[in-house]
Amino acid sequence: MVRRTRYLRKIPLAEAQAVFFSALEEAGFFQAAEEEVAVQAALGRVTSQPVHARIPCPHFRSAAMDGIAVRSEDTFGARGDAPKFIPRESFRYIDTGDPLPDPYDAVVMIEQVNEVEGGVEIYEPVFPGKHVREIGEDFPQGALVLPAGRRLRPEGIAACLATGNPTVWVKRKPRGLFIPTGSELVPPEADWGVGKVPETNSQLFLGYVEEWGGEAHASPIVPDRLEEIRGAVVAALEEGYDFIAISAGTSKGREDFTAAIVAELGRVLVHGVGIAPGKPVLLGLLDGVPVLGLPGYPVAAWIALVKFLKPALERYFGCPAPPAPTVQGTLTHRIHSSLGTREFVRVRLERKADKVLVHPLPGGSSRLSSLTGADGIVEVPEEVEGYPKGAEVTVELLPR
């Protein structure tokens, strides 16, 4: 029988991240498996092996412009005041992309061609290769098309196909399971009633994990009964998920069992982080599988996912995200924060004349409106006790 535990020791965010990522490194989580997939179905996937050109691109000499194919030597001497006549048998009309036939080695743009009796006149010479796409000028055969560790975007997929690569080796998507717990929870489509809460945190997990490159699943709602939660976690391990998130049950209430279950089945790495929202977050390992105990309130869960799961997946794929864009602005109201806690304050921006006004939104871990209505985040470091009204602050912009 697992006993419920109540230990919760707040440590700084940077320390918690270091502990978690070090444990994941030791457990081999960042050693991604690979699979071969059709390149046309690989948008957003990360290459596990470099891609080389199997055929040159282009694979034949072709016209780069509409015009006439000529022998460049036949154009020498042409100039504006003394056009060069080329008889009909010495050139061929050609369109962009057409193969360049022998014996021609250049193209004169159609705009520079004047049709006359028996042929054409041109007004300037062309050198060999003018307006010609040479074999392999884009990618020679064997050239590197994409390195390993590159996220496939539409242009990368096009380049793979243009160089004879219908398939590509990519890092396997890690599979994650979200386990929502809470006797008060009901599916959003059910009759809520007084005292019942629609379960929506799974949508945060499913959406962000997919956005960050993983494969996300959610289990049915599990009531606040220790053995049932434990059974759901054991089942997740047996089904081979690469990471698990357990929603709620991480604090010190009567029905908070996550810490005890993780301690019994594996190892608790961190329980309590100096962040707001999100203090009760739990981080652990179960047979080498990362487990995140997420606070039940949605904003706290979101912060925990962004600060722990997102960078873990970036390390798994070897593709760190570029820093979020920032903007400087002036606070319209004081921000309060406790020493020793890194505060993530959601803010709305207002551009007024040549200034950016930063309006802090109502706080609290439960207000989804503070995410949907936010333009960005102001981070208040652990050693700072808030910012006064009128202070200049840096706002990390949220994707919109």
> H-type helices in 60-200, by residue range?
154-162
pLDDT of residue 80: 85
Cα separations (Å) of 279 from 294, 341, 359? Answer: 10, 9, 24
Residue 110 CA to residue 98 CA, distance in Å, equals 14
285 closest CA partner among 244, 225, 257: 244
pLDDT along the chain (400 residues), means of 10: 58 96 96 96 96 97 97 93 94 97 96 94 95 96 97 97 98 97 89 86 96 96 93 96 88 70 95 93 96 94 97 94 93 93 95 93 85 94 94 94
Residue 357 CA to residue 306 CA, distance in Å, equals 25
Q: Do 72 and 126 form a contact (C-beta atoms < 8 A)?
A: yes
Residue 20 CA to residue 47 CA, distance in Å, equals 25
* Tokens read off for 125: 């010479």
Distance of CA 275 to the CA centre of its chain: 24
Q: What is this structure's pTM?
A: 0.86
Residue 400 CA to residue 398 CA, distance in Å, equals 6
Residue 64 CA to residue 131 CA, distance in Å, equals 5
Residue corresponding to tokens 């997946």: 313
Cross-strand bridge partners of residue 275: 342
pLDDT of residue 2: 47
What angle in degrees, to the nearest 10, is found between the helix axes of 310-317 and 13-27? 40
At residue 165, φ and ψ (nearest 5 deg) are: -115, 90
Residue 242 CA to residue 173 CA, distance in Å, equals 9
pLDDT of residue 252: 57
pLDDT of residue 320: 86
pLDDT of residue 353: 84
Residue corresponding to tokens 């008889």: 87
> H-type helices in the chain, by residue range?
13-27, 154-162, 201-211, 226-238, 258-265, 298-304, 310-317, 369-372
Residue 380 CA to residue 393 CA, distance in Å, equals 9
Contacts of 270 (CB under 8 A, 6+ apart): 11, 16, 19, 20, 281, 282, 283, 284
What type of residue is 10?
A: K
Give 378: exposed, middle or buried? Use CB within 10 Å, 0-12, 13-18, 19+: buried
pLDDT of residue 1: 46
Coil, helix or strand for 311?
helix
Domains of the chain: residue spans and CATH: 13-32+172-317 (3.40.980.10), 34-57+137-171 (3.90.105.10), 62-133 (2.170.190.11), 326-397 (2.40.340.10)
pLDDT of residue 255: 52
State the chain's mean pLDDT as an integer.
93
Cis peptide before 277 (omega within 30 of 0): yes
Residues in the chain: 400
Cα separations (Å) of 35 from 39, 228, 257? Answer: 12, 35, 37
What type of residue is 240?
A: G
